[in-house]
Amino acid sequence: MFAKAQAIKQPFFIILLLVGFQKAGTAVTDTTSAVPMNVYDSAMLHLINQDYRSARTILDNHLSRNPSDFRALYLSFANEQTRILDYESYIVDQRRFQIMADSLKRIFETGLTGLRGVDSTACLFYLANVYGGVSVVQAKSGNWFEGVKNAISSVSMLKLVKKRDACFYAADLGLGIFNYYLSTSFKWLPFFEDKQHEGLKAVESALKARFPYNYAAKNSLCWILIERKDFRRADSIAQSVLIEFPNNTIFLRIKALVALWTGRHDEALRLGSTLVALTERRQPPNWSDLVAGYTILVQGNDEAGREREACGAAQKMLTRKIPAEYRQIPHIRKNITYVNGIRRNCRKGKR
């Protein structure tokens, strides 16, 4: 059975949502208001299109002339973390990412002492999400203790952001994800306050953020809905994004998995083929998406009774030289084991 990836890709767009201060009905507020907005817009558009290199180039060029632009600094951090979470390269990139985060913490903490009003709130928001970003990468790298500590620090800051401005919808996603998954993980403890419903409401609230921040909320909400077996709505949300960004592999992967899990094999196979084709064109390859795409093809064909096609897809995937650091990721390892089992049966003539 295909290893479901609810906890694998879910955090990807969390970071995308947390790149800027977005107050309902207003423009973004920055400490560098004279900077043209197209610098940020262009970088974020590249980010949502998963073109991290172009986003980084734009931001690096801008920061070379405006080194104290807090928003651009944080967006550069968000771009890097999004790349790591997309590629699931947190084991490879953890140390360099931690150095970047530590540097930004010092910059934002120092900056907070001289800021007031909305600029102070925005800076606090950036700082909160640096802590949150570090917590995600630490947890993904197996350092759960430090990850939880940084997550708690992040949440306490996000609560303060919401206290200052109740319409700061971007903060709702971080708070909602924390409450929802904390309640899911520890609901067995006696006297533990279940905040699962509260967390879900906060994630729903984050949908009110404007582009591209609402896409982060859509991604997180999709995985929550999948966990709650609401496949129809998760599929609808993913489709709404793919209409605008048809090559976005994050939402394409969600839609393909939902099709597979609900028995729509022809659709799953079509989407899985597209996922593999898009991933093959990326440099470097996204091994997580590549394994997911091939596994969808193997399982979809197998369940549809297309044994030769399932065997062919299994053989193709297993000839790819997946780096050892990616083979350590639990869901990739599980999917490789599943596909290996299919190929062994093919060789034994059982399929």
* Predicted pLDDT of residue 90: 85
- Who wins on pLDDT, 136 or 25? 136
* Predicted pLDDT of residue 290: 96
Residue 153 · residue 116 · CB < 8 Å: no
How does pLDDT run across 54-94, given as a tens digit for each residue?
999 999 999 999 999 999 999 999 999 889 988 999 888 99
DSSP 3-state helix, strand, coil percentages of the chain (rounded to 5)? 75, 0, 25
Domains and CATH numbers, the chain: 6-245 (1.25.40.10), 263-351 (no CATH)
Q: Whole-number mean pLDDT of the chain?
A: 86
Q: What is the DSSP letter of 282?
A: S
* Predicted pLDDT of residue 144: 84
Instruction: Give the residues across from 302 on adjacent strands.
Output: none
Instruction: Give the residues across from 168 on adjacent strands.
Output: 23
Asked if pLDDT for residue 323 goes beyond 90, the answer is yes
Asked if pLDDT for residue 2 goes beyond 80, the answer is no
Distance CA 123, CA 117 (A): 10
- Who wins on pLDDT, 13 or 150? 150
Asked if pLDDT for residue 307 goes beyond 60, the answer is yes
One-letter amino acid at 140 equals K
The DSSP line for 62-91 is HHHH-TT-HHHHHHHHHHHHHHHHHHT-HH
Residue 331: exposed, middle, or buried by beta-carbon count in 10 A (0-12, 13-18, 19+)? Answer: buried
* Predicted pLDDT of residue 311: 97
* Predicted pLDDT of residue 351: 57
Residue 172 · residue 125 · CB < 8 Å: no
Distance CA 256, CA 98 (A): 33
Question: Which tokens belong to 139?
Answer: 């947890």
Distance CA 207, CA 173 (A): 9
Asked if pLDDT for residue 341 goes beyond 60, the answer is yes
How does pLDDT run across 18-40, given as a tens digit for each residue?
333 333 222 223 333 444 458 99
All residues at 6 or more sequence positions from 240 whose CB lies less than 8 Å from its CB, including other chains: 218
Out of 39-53, 74-88, 129-143, 252-266, the most confident range is 252-266
Residue with tokens 């800021």: 115
Share of the chain above pLDDT 90, in %: 67
* Predicted pLDDT of residue 343: 94
Residue 248 half-sphere exposure toward CB, CA atoms < 13 A: 24
Q: What is the DSSP letter of 21?
A: -
- Asked if omega into 190 is within 30° of 0 (cis), the reply is no
Buried b (16+ CB within 10 A) or exposed e, 276-311: bebbeeeeebbbbbbbbbbbbbbbbbbeeebeebbb
Residue 62 · residue 72 · CB < 8 Å: yes
Residue with tokens 């049966």: 345
Strands (E), the chain: none
Distance CA 251, CA 322 (A): 23
* Predicted pLDDT of residue 185: 62
Residue 330 in 3-state DSSP?
A: helix
Residue 218 · residue 241 · CB < 8 Å: yes
CA angle centred on 280, ends 275 and 284, rounded to 5°? 120
Q: What is the DSSP letter of 27?
A: P
* Predicted pLDDT of residue 171: 92
Residue 132 · residue 157 · CB < 8 Å: no
Residue 58 · residue 94 · CB < 8 Å: no
Residue 187 pLDDT grade (very low, low, confident, very high; cuts 50, 70, 90): low
- Who wins on pLDDT, 55 or 10? 55
- Number of residues written out for the chain: 351
Distance CA 78, CA 24 (A): 21
Q: Which helix (H) or strand (E) holds 13?
A: helix 12-17
The average pLDDT across 153-176 equals 94
